[in-house]
Amino acid sequence: MESVRVIPCLDVRAGRVVKGVNFLALRDAGDPVALGAYYESQGADELVFLDINASIEGRATLIELVRRCAESVFIPLTVGGGVDSIASAEALLRAGADKVSVNSSAVAEPNLISDLAQRFGRQCVVVAVDARRRHDRFVVVTHGGRRETEIDALEWVSRVTELGAGEILVTSMDRDGTKDGYDLALLASISSAVNVPIIASGGVGKQQDFVDGVLQGGAQGLLAASVFHFGELSIASVKTALSDAGISVRQTGEPDGDIHASRT
């Protein structure tokens, strides 16, 4: 079994890391460059940097801030927010990102996914899927949870995989920031529907939630924010819990293959 990745998430607004509940009531959590370097020192396997207001404000991601983050860490860095073209993705990759994440722009123009995969390779393309429960199914939401679509989340993940997504970042909008645990039904449904790695996001509050994300949700990546930002859990304690449950985890300094090939 491939080693599971533990991934802190840096939700950035106005140059600062923030975190709230259901993307609302945001609290300041610190400087993204300092936090990124700290998490790498603590054994994080990857980092996700999301400019959470870029799509809402109709602008590109904060390139210079991404550059500073990339210069401070040597683990894979995924950047999202405002990626709506080959040019915007290339700018982030040139600034030091290893992968780009697309969400709202991919919903608006699905062929962007295939364009990115053809230009940069599907290993560089992460499709973020924000989903919310609606009765007996899950629907896709965009623009930081502000716009609900009629798109069925399971149908969408199958489509984006066919288009060239190399990885899917699944966030439960219902669970985000609640600390009630990942939405395991959502994760299990998606992991069964596609053959690319799934990153679980939204709702972790304790170590067991990470374990359940793998054993019950089928995730290969485990993303969290507030429990790390505010010192409730450490990356080391999470990896210990995963290992104790028989789950393979990466050790600090373990090679990540050629994912850094995009850095120039």
Active-site residue set:
11, 130
Dihedral angle sign, alpha carbons of residues 253, 254, 256, 261: positive
Question: Would you give the end-to-end CA distance of the chain in angstroms?
Answer: 31
**What residues pair up with 8 in beta bridges, in sequence order?**
224
- Which residue, chain included where needed, has tokens 């793998």? 214
How is residue 2 annotated by DSSP? P
State the residue for tokens 């990885």: 167
Distance between CA atoms of 220 and 197, rounded to whole angstroms? 6
Provide the sign of the torsion angle of the four alpha carbons 233, 239, 240, 241, taken in this order.
positive
Q: Which of 121, 126, 28 is nearest to 77 (CA)?
A: 126
CA-atom Rg of the chain in angstroms: 16
